[in-house]
């Protein structure tokens, strides 16, 4: 029986969970993979820091060379975060013929394709299932469980922070700022939440999902990103009255070989499965040509859920080592990257505006939309917050993104339109 030696980079929330699982489930893991797993070294910032797990002090080091250059270590588990410095460290590990398991979606979204190619060149594996949606095995499901299908669309709630905030804003009628502070106090949001609430964290995850689903090389620059900071209680109230729930949704779809990937606030029908996903939970909805609709749901973060995915990836690495098939996971992208233009992206839209409350206003507005061949499924008109103004809320029928852009630009030129308050995608009504 070959003993597998592991170097663990990081002993924070996830790293601690990895050690606990290896300690608590060691016998079961050994039985399933046919190898003894030994943690040889753990890279930390402070050797003397108090830990939430019992650990041999001999394991701890502040020198990454003791992991990536150590000839006794077979696998590097990277759960410390970071991008550029971490990338250099992982490149060095691969050149030293070490397999990698990582939960670092930032690293994989930015440098993943290069690392995967380098791994293949060195007959090494990289597994990164924990980098998207924590304990939900969505990457493995796409690459293995749904490998025989053609994925047409993925819709996902892949950021627990924003889902928690929007759940509280919707259910408790609270504004964004106080809910963000509550999320930070509970540990659901970072002290600097920009990456989460701005949509960047979700975009990095959607990049990884799109790469696997569509077998083409999608970069972070290819993703249209909008966050949740401008969503108001009024937006939520109007959406609710029209039968929708607002969620930050990552969307990746393909049609005729062309791809759209976005992260944006989206109105979903209240009975849509994703609309019912609350608080810090994640869910990914997958449309396959053969399988139809499937949904993966679970905790998107946390010590043990994420650590479970990390250790599962470690077990896959060990199985490949024992079978002598390491380095075959990466497959060169099958298709050339082709992105949809705004004329090729079709969906419905929610549009909210403040206008002058006078005769002829509505006709002028509808003329603008008619010129772009935009029609409406739902319309609301209510008194505005200012004297002699009204608010108009519209949900269009399916139109192109370019039709929306043109309509909004032309509306700004109308004297009776005071301001476009908000506009959001509407999806999930197929």
At residue 231, the pLDDT reads: 97
331 has a pLDDT exceeding 80 = no
The mean of the pLDDT values for the chain is 93
* DSSP conformation class of 415: T
pLDDT class for 267, splitting at 50, 70, 90? very high
At residue 430, the pLDDT reads: 66
Whether residue 164 is found in the same domain as residue 280: yes
At residue 127, the pLDDT reads: 94
Whether residue 289 is found in the same domain as residue 313: no
- Record the pTM: 0.91
Whether residue 96 is found in the same domain as residue 165: no
pLDDT class for 188, splitting at 50, 70, 90? confident
Whether residue 163 is found in the same domain as residue 118: no
Q: pLDDT per residue over 360-386, tens digit each?
A: 898 999 999 999 999 999 999 888 778
Average pLDDT of the residues in 69-91: 96
Whether residue 196 is found in the same domain as residue 112: no
Tokens of 156: 């996902």
* Residue 346 burial (CB count, 10 A): 15
* Collapsed DSSP state (helix, strand, coil) of residue 7: strand
364 to 352, 361, 385, 405, 418: CA distances (angstroms): 16, 5, 21, 17, 13
302 has a pLDDT exceeding 80 = no
Do residues 99 and 77 touch, judged by C-beta distance below 8 A? no
Q: Which residues are catalytic?
A: 205
194 inside domain: yes
Domain count, the chain: 3
Do residues 184 and 210 touch, judged by C-beta distance below 8 A? no
Do residues 338 and 257 touch, judged by C-beta distance below 8 A? yes
At residue 84, the pLDDT reads: 96
CATH number of the domain bearing residue 366:
3.30.70.260
The most confident of 141-145, 296-300, 313-317, by mean pLDDT? 313-317
pLDDT class for 251, splitting at 50, 70, 90? very high
**Distance between CA atoms of residues 156 and 30, nearest Å:** 34
Whether residue 204 is found in the same domain as residue 283: yes
Whether residue 115 is found in the same domain as residue 145: no
CATH number of the domain bearing residue 293:
3.30.360.10
DSSP notation for 22-76: HHHSHHHHHHHHSS-EEEEEEE-S-TTS--SS---GGGEES-THHHHT-TT--EE
Parent domain of 111: 4-134+303-323
183 has a pLDDT exceeding 90 = no
314 inside domain: yes
Whether residue 288 is found in the same domain as residue 311: no
342 has a pLDDT exceeding 70 = yes
* Residue 419 burial (CB count, 10 A): 12
pLDDT class for 1, splitting at 50, 70, 90? low
Whether residue 127 is found in the same domain as residue 237: no
How does strand 258-269 pair with strand 60-61? unpaired
Whether residue 113 is found in the same domain as residue 191: no
**Distance between CA atoms of residues 293 and 285, nearest Å:** 7
339 inside domain: no
CATH number of the domain bearing residue 26:
3.40.50.720
* Residue 365 burial (CB count, 10 A): 21
* Collapsed DSSP state (helix, strand, coil) of residue 259: strand
334 has a pLDDT exceeding 90 = no
Tokens of 57: 């002090």
Do residues 426 and 350 touch, judged by C-beta distance below 8 A? yes
Whether residue 318 is found in the same domain as residue 352: no
């Amino acid at each position: 029986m070959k003993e597998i030696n592991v170097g663990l980079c990081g002993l924070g929330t996830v790293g601690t969970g990895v050690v606990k699982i290896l300690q608590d489930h060691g016998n079961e893991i050994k039985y399933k993979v046919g190898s003894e797993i030994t943690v040889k070294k753990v890279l930390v910032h402070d050797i003397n820091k108090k830990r939430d797990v019992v650990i041999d002090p001999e394991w701890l080091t502040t020198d990454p060379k003791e992991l990536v250059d150590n000839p006794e270590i077979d696998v590097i588990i990277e759960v410390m975060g970071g991008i550029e410095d971490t990338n250099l460290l992982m490149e060095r590990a691969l050149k030293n013929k070490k397999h990698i398991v990582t939960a670092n979606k930032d690293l994989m979204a930015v440098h993943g394709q290069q690392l995967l190619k380098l791994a293949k060149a060195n007959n090494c594996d990289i597994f990164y299932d924990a980098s998207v949606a924590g304990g939900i095995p969505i990457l493995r499901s796409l690459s293995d469980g749904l490998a025989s299908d053609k994925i047409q669309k993925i819709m996902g709630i892949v950021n627990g922070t924003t889902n928690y905030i929007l759940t509280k804003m919707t259910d408790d009628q609270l504004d964004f700022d106080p809910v963000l502070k509550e999320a930070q106090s509970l540990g659901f949001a970072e002290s600097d939440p920009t990456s989460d609430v701005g949509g960047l964290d979700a975009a990095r995850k959607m990049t990884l999902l799109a790469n696997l689903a569509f077998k083409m090389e999608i970069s972070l620059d290819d993703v249209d990103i909008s966050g949740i900071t401008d969503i108001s209680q009024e937006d939520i109230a109007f959406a609710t009255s029209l039968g929708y729930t607002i969620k930050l949704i990552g969307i990746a779809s393909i049609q005729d070989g062309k791809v759209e990937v976005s992260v944006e606030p989206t109105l979903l029908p209240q009975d849509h499965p994703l609309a019912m996903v609350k608080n810090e939970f994640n869910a990914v909805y997958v449309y396959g040509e053969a399988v139809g609709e499937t949904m993966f749901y679970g905790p998107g973060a946390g010590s043990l859920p994420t650590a479970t995915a990390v250790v599962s990836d470690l077990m896959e690495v060990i199985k490949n080592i024992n079978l002598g098939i390491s380095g075959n996971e990466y497959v060169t992208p099958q298709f050339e990257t082709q992105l949809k233009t705004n004329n090729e992206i079709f969906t419905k839209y929610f549009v909210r505006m403040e206008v002058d409350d006078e005769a002829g206003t509505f006709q002028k507005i509808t003329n603008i939309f008619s010129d772009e061949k935009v029609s409406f499924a739902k319309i609301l008109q209510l008194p505005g917050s200012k004297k002699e103004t009204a608010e108009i809320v519209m949900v269009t029928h399916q139109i192109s993104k370019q039709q929306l852009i043109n309509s909004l630009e032309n509306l700004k030129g109308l004297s009776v339109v005071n301001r476009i308050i908000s506009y959001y995608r509407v999806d999930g009504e197929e």
